[in-house]
Amino acid sequence: MKFLVNKKLATRIGIITTVITLTGMLLLWLIVSSNAASMVKNDITNQMTDAVESRAAIINEYVASAEEYMSAFALSSEVRQLLLNPDDPELTGKAQQYTEDFAAVKGVFEGLYIATPDTHVLTHTSQSAIGMTTRTGDSLKSFQDTILARKELTNLGIMKSPGTGSMILSMYEPVFEGQRCIGYVGAGVYASHLMDSLLNLSIKGLPDSEYVFLNVDTGVYLYHEDDQLLNTATTDAGYQEILRRIQENGDTQANTYSYKDENGVNQLVVYKYLKNRGWVFMVRESVAEVYGEVIMVRIVVGALCAVVAAAIILITLLILRREGKELMAVERAIGRLGDLNLSADEELETFYHRADEIGLIAQTTHHVCACLQKTIDDINRILGEMAGGNLAVDVEKNSSYYIGDFRALLVSLKSIQGNLTNVIRDISLVANQVDTSAERVSTGAEALSQGTLEQAGSIDGLVSNVTEITSQIQTSTVRCDSASKLVDKATGYTAEADVKMDQLTVATQNIDSSSTQIGTIIKTIEDIAFQTNILALNAAVEAARAGTAGKGFSVVADEVRNLAAKSAQAAQSTNNLINHSIQDVKTGAESTALAVSAMQVISECIQSIKTLMDEIAAASIQQSEMITLVEQGIKEISAVVQENSSTAEKSAAVSKELSDQARRLNSLISQFRIEES
Residue 94: pLDDT band by 50, 70, 90 thresholds? very high
Q: Letter for the amino acid at 88?
A: D
Number of other residues whose CB lies within 10 A of the CB of residue 71: 14
CA distances, 498 to each of 354, 525, 590, 599 (Å) = 126, 40, 16, 7
Q: Is the pLDDT of residue 677 over 50?
A: no
Q: Output the domain CATH number for residue 475.
A: 1.10.287.950
pLDDT, tens digit, 9 for 90 and up, residues 355-368? 777 777 777 877 77
Q: Is 218 exposed, middle or buried (0-12, 13-18, 19+ CB in 10 A)?
A: middle
What pLDDT is recorded for position 347?
64
> How many Å separate Cα 437 from the centre of its chain?
78
Residue 545 is assigned to a structural domain of this protein: yes
CA distances, 306 to each of 30, 121, 218, 302 (Å) = 12, 76, 54, 6
> How many Å separate Cα 602 from the centre of its chain?
88
Query: Could you give the number of structural domains in the chain?
Result: 2
Cβ atoms of 536 and 558 within 8 Å: the answer is: yes
Beta strands in 342-399 (DSSP E): none
Residue 348: pLDDT band by 50, 70, 90 thresholds? low
Domain finish residue from 290, 308, 342: 290
Q: Output the domain CATH number for residue 209.
A: 3.30.450.20
pLDDT, tens digit, 9 for 90 and up, residues 536-546? 778 777 777 77
Domain finish residue from 290, 324, 349: 290
Cβ atoms of 210 and 228 within 8 Å: the answer is: no
| Of the candidates 266, 270, 279, 294, the residue with the CA atom closest to the CA atom of residue 210 | 270
- Range(s) of the domain holding residue 561: 445-669
Q: Which long-range contacts (CB under 8 A, 24 or more apart) does 602-609 make?
A: 602/494, 603/491, 603/494, 603/495, 603/498, 606/487, 606/490, 606/491, 606/494, 607/491, 609/487
Minimum mean pLDDT among 1-15, 244-258, 408-422: which range? 1-15
pLDDT, tens digit, 9 for 90 and up, residues 629-653? 777 777 777 777 677 777 767 776 7
Residue 278 is assigned to a structural domain of this protein: yes
Q: Half-sphere exposure (CA, 13 Å, Cβ side) for 266?
A: 7
What pLDDT is recorded for position 342?
66
CA distances, 326 to each of 17, 345, 363, 451, 482 (Å) = 19, 13, 14, 87, 106
Rounded to an integer, what distance in angstroms lies between the CA atom of residue 170 and that of residue 156? Answer: 5
Q: Letter for the amino acid at 241?
A: E
Residue 272 is assigned to a structural domain of this protein: yes
Q: Is 182 exposed, middle or buried (0-12, 13-18, 19+ CB in 10 A)?
A: middle
What pLDDT is recorded for position 642?
74
Q: What are the two backbone dihedrals, phi and then psi, of residue 280, each rounded to the nearest 5 degrees?
A: -130, 130
Check residues 368 and 456 and name the one with the higher pLDDT.
368
What pLDDT is recorded for position 41?
65
Cβ atoms of 270 and 254 within 8 Å: the answer is: yes
Rounded to an integer, what distance in angstroms lies between the CA atom of residue 543 and that of residue 144? Answer: 165
What pLDDT is recorded for position 393?
73
Check residues 4 and 309 and name the one with the higher pLDDT.
309
Check residues 483 and 376 and name the one with the higher pLDDT.
376
What pLDDT is recorded for position 291?
67
Rounded to an integer, what distance in angstroms lies between the CA atom of residue 174 and that of residue 184? Answer: 4
Per DSSP, the chain holds a count of helices (H) and strands (E) of 11, 10
Residue 617 is assigned to a structural domain of this protein: yes
Contacts of 411 (CB under 8 A, 6+ apart): none
pLDDT, tens digit, 9 for 90 and up, residues 158-198? 777 776 767 788 889 999 998 899 999 999 888 766 666 55
Rounded to an integer, what distance in angstroms lies between the CA atom of residue 47 and that of residue 323? Answer: 56
> Angle, to 10 degrees, between the axis of helix 89-106 and the axis of helix 77-84?
150
What pLDDT is recorded for position 118?
92
Residue 561 is assigned to a structural domain of this protein: yes
What pLDDT is recorded for position 438?
67
Residue 622 is assigned to a structural domain of this protein: yes
Residue 388 is assigned to a structural domain of this protein: no
| Of the candidates 408, 410, 409, 406, the residue with the CA atom closest to the CA atom of residue 394 | 410
Q: Is the pLDDT of residue 504 over 90?
A: no
Residue 556: pLDDT band by 50, 70, 90 thresholds? confident
Domain finish residue from 245, 274, 290: 290
Residue 516 is assigned to a structural domain of this protein: yes
* Whole-number average pLDDT of the chain: 78
pLDDT, tens digit, 9 for 90 and up, residues 125-160? 988 889 999 889 999 999 989 989 988 888 877 777
